[in-house]
Amino acid sequence: MVLAEAQTNTGAKLFNDETLRVRNAAADAYAALKYAGTANKEITLPGFTATLEREPAVKAEAYAATVNLDFNLAERWRTISLTGALELTTSNRAAGRWAVVRIIGDTSARAVSTAEGWIVLGDPLPAEVPANKNLVLFLRAFGTGASNVVCEWILEGSANSYEAQAISAAGSTDIKPDPQNRFHSVVFTVTDPAYAGAYIHDVVLKLENANAGDRCALYFDNPASVDPTIHVHNDTTGGTELLSFTSLEAGHDLWAVFVYTGTAWRYLKHGWATDAVVSNEFLVGAETYAATVNLDLDKPSRQTLSLTGDVTLNTTNRPAAAGAGKSIAVELTASGGNRVVTVNANWKWLTAEPGTISSGESGLLVLEAWGTAETDVRAAWKALI
């Protein structure tokens, strides 16, 4: 049956035709049924049953520390305006029911949580809504239990996070990634305004807000006049030392990446940055001469060392655990006279030891640390021809 003009019905209406359409007076277009009532209505035709739903309405849930989301309400679209921390619960769950919830942040970051054991697709539910941001939850029930609720979420402005920090003296800096981001980067500007010389600074990666799989990248912008020692720790200054740079190479920038396992931060990789990246180039550092030199395996993997006197060589910053390796190559040059080179007695040699280097002569010392101790160091020496 086709309705082409206004109809008034005061009781049940029987249609013998199983098709019901509404068209305009010119019969050249059909209009969609639109129902603007206050409750859902059911229409039944022979062999066909359908529900006409009223236009969607948005329900503003009153804020409380705990807000219950009733899946049986007609208003499936909800808003919650935060003024404090929020815990979410659900009720009247049944297969096929759903709700969309917009959580509106105020001028402060607010914690958001649920203890119902929802299935959260993708990343875990954010621990907080940042100030003046929105969190939207898409909730679908696949059964009557809370564990049958599937949740997807979108956080306004969610992206990789960044912060700038400055290091200028001994002390410590805490790094706490944003809870809604999986990758956090920090650029440290290193200075020494007091001209105090070398100093020690601790960088602490906090566990707070971290989720399993999160990564944190640290970049140290280091001028030529400054050579601090940098220690990176897990959670506290007394926590596990993840990476240590004994006298950060003056004038060379350093980067390092760490990953959160779910219980602790772990070292992933590090390197030395240059102003321009050129294929197959590597950074060359210069060790400072002393009667005893500890070759730092965390410094650039190519070093030079001018010997103005006899020297004893050891290594430092070998791998923190078995199963890891580090290497370094050092060009030794005897300056101003013959120089005796004494090496750590625990190293294992692939060649003869350097012994005495004649004045003005040079050679290349290559070291590989296959473990945590000096006994794990493998060494090779070749005088330059």
Domain termination residue (choose one: 55, 80, 101): 55
pLDDT-above-70 percentage for the chain: 78
Structural domain boundaries, residue 224: 161-273
Domain termination residue (choose one: 137, 155, 173): 155
DSSP string for 50-77: EEEPPPP-EEEEPP-SEEEEETTSS--E
224 and 132 fall within a common domain: no
Domain termination residue (choose one: 138, 155, 172): 155
149 and 165 fall within a common domain: no
Q: Which two tokens stand for residue 151?
A: 């949740």
Domains identified in the chain, total number: 4
Answer whether residue 23 shows pLDDT above 90: no
DSSP string for 253-276: EEEEEEEE-SSSEEEEEEEEE-SS
Mean pLDDT of 116-132: 87
What is the model's pTM?
Answer: 0.48
**Residues 224-243: tens digit of each pLDDT:** 777 788 899 999 999 998 88
Higher pLDDT among residues 18 and 156, named by residue = 156
In the prediction, which pLDDT does 278 show?
43
In the prediction, which pLDDT does 344 show?
96
Find all residues with CB under 8 Å of 9, minimum gap 6, and list them: none
CA dihedral 54, 56, 57, 61 (to 10 degrees): 120
**Residue 133 included in any domain:** yes
Higher pLDDT among residues 124 and 351, named by residue = 351
**Residue 81 included in any domain:** yes
**Residue 278 included in any domain:** no
**Residue 186 included in any domain:** yes
Answer whether residue 102 shows pLDDT above 50: yes
**Which residues are registered as beta bridge partners of 335?**
none
247 and 303 fall within a common domain: no
**Residue 345 included in any domain:** yes
Locus of tokens 């875990």: 124
**Residue 279 included in any domain:** no
22 and 88 fall within a common domain: no
In the prediction, which pLDDT does 211 show?
79
107 and 38 fall within a common domain: no
Q: 244 falls in which pLDDT band (50, 70, 90)?
A: confident
**Residues 337-376: tens digit of each pLDDT:** 999 999 999 999 999 999 999 999 999 999 999 999 999 9
**Residue 44 included in any domain:** yes
Longest dimension (CA), the chain: 117
